[in-house]
Structure 1
Amino acid sequence: MRPDNQARNIREKIVNKSKGNPTPVYTKFEEKCSKELVKQDLVDLAAGTLSAIRVRGFFSKELCAEVMENLQTVELGEYDQQVVSPRIAKLGPSAFDYYIDGGIGDEYWEHRDQSDEVRSALAKGIDPLVLAMEKISLCWGSDVRKSSINGRRLFAGMIREINEGARIHFDEIERELPNGLDDTPVAQLAFNCHLEMPKKGGEATIFRRRWMPQDEDNRDGYGYPYDLVKDQPYTSVRAEVGDAVIFDPRNYHRVETNKSPGRRVTLSFFMGLTADGILEIWS
């Protein structure tokens, strides 16, 4: 018998004798709640084995109150209501607001600078975005930086007000603007720190279901029907003022309607993990 055939037969005998149970498969879509942001939690979220991270007291209630008081003097813009309905008020440009022929329109950059200036004045002594970046950088172990297109840094740190809910949708920069960023993210996360919340409602609900090409047959504007996700595992995260909630926006998600008086206002941006292990952010 040739040596290679002999080795093959030995392997076959070993395989045939090893008849164990099938390997178990775990859903692993739980929410993690903690008092501090932990790097491993971000890694697990990017890997798809957590549904969401809730960090209690990411911002102090005093900072949130100061931002909200000064925000009263700011005239907020909104997403195009022909695309995004119900209305979502916001401070700052969204990259997809300015997508033109695979790039970003010129007006975006002026809007970026104006919005950075306004947001940086909402709290005395520190821009809320800078504080968030510092906290995430400390957790990650290296500096968080803003994403760029052709060397120009994108806007990050939108302030959004969602009181009437947001429809089921997903966010994925590589499907919206393929190869648009200078550094392609291998994973994408969404960050929301809650500056004000109603006593009831306003939860973020995340479903364990990602976009598939056939989903476009049921798309209405930016939203998708509940039927796409009705049988999927999900989690609903109820945050308090100052809490940060982070999840993978490539999963379908929605914001529940406020069920009591009050405003639901967040500091929001996306985080992309690059192949070099760098965290980059944009809105």
Structure 2
Amino acid sequence: MDEAWSPVVLAESSSSTETLLEDLWTGAIPYAVFPGFLDKSECSGVIEALKTAPMTTFKSGDALVSTLGVYLPDAVSDPDAYFARAAELEPAIASLLERGQGDVRDRIRLMFASHLKRPVVAATGPEGQEYGQGSLRVHGSGAGSSVHRDVVSVDAAGWNVAEMDAQFSAVLMLQPPEAGGELTVYRQRWRPEDDTEFKNKGAKGWDPRVVEGAQVATYAAAAGDLYVFNPTQYHEVPLTSGESDRVSMQFFMAFDFEGDGPVVTFS
């Protein structure tokens, strides 16, 4: 029988969780969650503000996906364009995420810092340029993500954040869909040799056979829930359905094991 693979609930942690990122990185836990991190009324405020935000919309299969924010793996070949676009979009994102108790991203960083006993700060480039700090995504009905991994050290090789020892994904659920859209994470880390046999040709993602037999954990986040996981492990988001879009905000986190340097955030 497989050993238990149980998440950590941050809101219930009465003691330090300094080893949280190490436990995520080694696969000892599938994810950590802070239920109800953001008040539902604050979530509704962000969703309402998104209606007039400068979103970019594209088709994913037969579904519509809208985004606001930069995504580093899509822009690795042009650092100047990436940082310029991040700076251009930052005022709109900051306006959306400035809620009653302050910028949601600052509150997330402060919460993680209190648990990790390390500073959590916005990542900056070699010349002091600030990386994008969060991407908002609206997945319409029928949208999702097939089995895949996010490995910044490979996908953004040469960038300073890619040189850090470990990376994570933090996701704030603003509105869950009526069905589907759950985090599904497998206890199996991507290996370069997987690409030869399992990488989908001409399409995103990997053949589901790559995670055959692996332990799996799922999490259906409610509005306001915040969770963090290790995206170098295979994961997916099942197709959504129903009238409610899946609306979320996410960014990466990275840090070095040695020393007491900061955890940095970027998107």
Match of 1:236 in 2: 218
| Partners of 1:158 and 1:268 within 8 A in 2 | yes
Deviation at 1:149, TM superposition (A): 3.0
Q: What SS does structure 2 have at the residue aligned with 1:75?
A: coil
Matched position secondary structure for 2:7: strand
Q: How far 1:75 moved relative to its partner?
A: 3.1
Question: Structure 1, residues 79-133: CA drift from partner, whole Å, max 9, x if none?
Answer: 7x6xx75654211111112111xxx432212210122100111134532222212
Q: 1:280 aligns with which of 251, 260, 264?
A: 264
1:219 matched to 2:194: no
Q: TM-score, normalised by structure 1?
A: 0.81
Structure 1 distance, partners of 2:45, 2:237, is: 25
Change (3 A) 1:46 1:258: same
Letter in 2 for 1:161: V
Using the TM superposition, name which of 57-66 and 130-139 deviates more: 130-139
Q: Evaluate the alpha carbon distance shift between residue 199 and residue 183 of structure 1 in structure 2; reply closer, same or farther with a 3 A threshold.
A: closer
Unaligned stretches of 5+ residues in structure 1: 1-24
1:163-215 C-alpha deviation (Å, 9 max, x unpaired): 41111110111111224216722111110010111232210100111222232
Counterpart residue identity of residue 60, structure 1: D
Q: In structure 2, how many angstroms separate the alpha carbons of the residues matched to 1:26 and 1:187?
A: 26
CA deviation map 1:60-85 (0-9, x unaligned): 11211111111111131157x6xx75
Identity %: 22
Alpha-carbon distance in structure 2 between the residues aligned to 1:239 and 1:182:
28
Cα contact 2:72–2:156 (8 A) shared by 1: no
Where does residue 136 of structure 1 map in the other structure? Answer: 112
Counterpart-to-counterpart distance in 2, 1:42 and 1:56: 18
Distance 1:31 1:139, change over 3 A: closer
- Which of 147, 150, 154 is residue 168 of structure 1 equivalent to? 147
d(CA) in 1 for partners of 2:194, 2:21: 28
Report if aligned partners of 1:28, 1:49 keep a CA contact under 8 Å in 2. no
In the alignment, structure 1 residue 95 sits paired with structure 2 residue 79: no
Contact preservation (8 Å) 1:197, 1:240: yes
SS at match of 2:106: helix
How many corresponding residue pairs?
A: 253
Aligned to 2:83: 109
Matched, 1:185 2:164: yes
Amino acid at match of 1:32: V
Q: Whole-Å Cα distance in 2 between the matches of residues 30 and 36 of structure 1? A: 14
Distance 1:227 1:262, change over 3 A: same
Cα RMSD for the two superposed structures:
2.4
Partner of 1:57: 36
Worse-matched range after superposition: 231-240 or 29-38: 29-38
Instruction: Find the aligned partners of 2:193 and 2:167 in 1 and give their Cα distance.
Output: 22
- Report the Cα offset of residue 227 of structure 1: 0.9
Looking at CA atoms only, which structure, 1 or 2, has the larger radius of gyration? 1
Query: CA offsets, 1:18-38, max 9 Å, x none?
Result: xxxxxxx97553223342574
Distance 1:76 1:198 in 2: 19
Note the C-alpha offset of 1:58: 1.2
- Give the aligned partner of residue 21 of structure 1: none
What is the Cα deviation at residue 59 of structure 1? 1.1
In structure 2, relative to structure 1, the CA distance for the partners of 1:182 and 1:190 (3 Å cut) is: closer
* Structure 2: segments with no counterpart, 5+ residues: none
Cα distance between partner residues in 1 of 2:211 and 2:266: 27
What secondary structure sits across from 1:30 in the alignment?
Answer: coil
In 1, are the aligned partners of 2:42 and 2:99 still within 8 Å (CA)? no
Q: Which residue matches 1:31?
A: 7
